[in-house]
Amino acid sequence: MCAIPTQPAPTYTTTSAVLRSGACLPNVRFLCLSLNPFLHLCNAVWEQHKPEMIRKIESHKAERLRRERRELVNNFYKEYKATLKAEKWQHFPPSDILAYEDVFVGFINQDSSDTAIELDKEAATKRLPEIIDDWRLQRQKELYELLPGASLDIESYETPEGEDISDEELERRRAEFRAEQEKKLQQAMNERMALAKTVFTCSSCKNGRHAGKAVIGWEAALTHMCGSFGHYFHSNWEFCSVGYAAAAALARQVGLDSDTATAEEMDKRDARFFCGNCPVRTHNKVQGRKAYTWRECVRLTVLNPLTREADTLIIGHSCCREGGGSYTRDSAVVAPLR
């Protein structure tokens, strides 16, 4: 009887074997989606697809390491903020902003095939205050440019005629002159953006959240921006002319100059206002219209379409005076209760 020659049994590479080799499930997800997980891959098929699989596995590995390093930066930032007073946190930029700074971007995006580079926490801690201050200054300049008549132009240093000075001395004078001009610009921005009528609208919140439609002053805008998320950043702003007019009218109602009245001065007055377009309601057996603070009144003017027709009345009309008085529904759009 003739013996039938036997062929060596083919070896197979399975998904489990790939996992045992050190790859995690997400790295071979494409394999599970394209093939039946209960089927085996023979060596020939494995060798055919091996380069592509290795490329995808290495790509997933690099992305996983980037996410891990990104989380390390987040934790480092939290530890840094924990060393400061909690009330300062509201004016710190989101960690997504810091991830693009040189001190962090090299660590996060380093090549995973090379020797791992550790985060230099000492150098990062020294750089953070400068990074945060620069970010705030840039955001403040962007908002300041939106204000009517505002300009960021800085005068250039002019060398006195007939004066013979060295290049080093000229550079020193230019640096000192520019620093002085930057200081004046910073003061002008702080003064202008502290006014009660400095009102902005966050474009990201324009069609959604009410909180960003009438933001008064620089600090409130900064707090709003610092509350951003990586996937929804409040970076685009508009000057709010309706809020500007309403705040100016309210300042005049309490006896302040609308061109110089600051938000802090309005807060100290602590006046209450009502809107003539709001309905009379009964609350605890008392009928009347709701009383608003000046900030609430500005926000109401921006949010409520019914007040758009009455914008001119807000600026120049009031039938009610501090301490009491009467009003008519048609003309008394905004007036102080006391």
Q: Domain boundary residue among 142, 174, 203?
A: 142
* Whether the predicted pLDDT of 62 surpasses 70: yes
Provide the pLDDT for residue 16: 45
Provide the pLDDT for residue 114: 66
Provide the pLDDT for residue 101: 85
* Whether the predicted pLDDT of 329 surpasses 70: no
Same domain, 244 and 317: yes
Q: For residue 292, how many other CB atoms are within 10 A of its CB?
A: 21
* Whether the predicted pLDDT of 7 surpasses 70: no
Q: Domain boundary residue among 142, 159, 181?
A: 142
Same domain, 117 and 41: yes
* Whether the predicted pLDDT of 189 surpasses 60: yes
Range of the domain at 108: 12-142
Same domain, 313 and 218: yes
Q: Is residue 156 part of a domain?
A: no
Same domain, 123 and 212: no
Same domain, 124 and 243: no
Same domain, 109 and 215: no
Give the chain's domain count. 2
* Whether the predicted pLDDT of 334 surpasses 80: no
For range 121-126, the mean pLDDT: 89
The mean pLDDT value of the chain amounts to 76
| DSSP state for residue 262 in the 8-state scheme | B
Q: Is residue 175 part of a domain?
A: no
Same domain, 103 and 230: no
For range 305-311, the mean pLDDT: 47
Burial class (CB in 10 A: 0-12, 13-18, 19+), 44: exposed
Same domain, 223 and 323: yes
Provide the pLDDT for residue 211: 73
Q: Domain boundary residue among 105, 126, 142?
A: 142
pLDDT digits (tens, 9 = 90+) for 208-247: 666 788 999 999 999 988 886 655 678 789 999 999 998 9
* Whether the predicted pLDDT of 276 surpasses 80: no
* Least confident interval from 15-24, 103-112, 311-320: 311-320
Same domain, 237 and 330: yes
Q: Is residue 89 part of a domain?
A: yes
Same domain, 135 and 202: no
d(CA 49, CA 55): 10
Same domain, 213 and 313: yes
Q: Is residue 173 part of a domain?
A: no
Provide the pLDDT for residue 226: 86
Provide the pLDDT for residue 11: 45
**Helix extents (H) in the chain:** 15-20, 29-34, 43-82, 95-98, 102-108, 121-144, 167-193, 217-226, 241-253, 263-269, 294-303, 311-316
pLDDT digits (tens, 9 = 90+) for 125-172: 999 999 999 999 999 999 999 998 888 877 777 777 767 777 787 788
pLDDT digits (tens, 9 = 90+) for 286-299: 888 888 899 988 98
* Whether the predicted pLDDT of 19 surpasses 50: no
Q: Is residue 189 part of a domain?
A: no
Provide the pLDDT for residue 193: 93
Same domain, 133 and 208: no
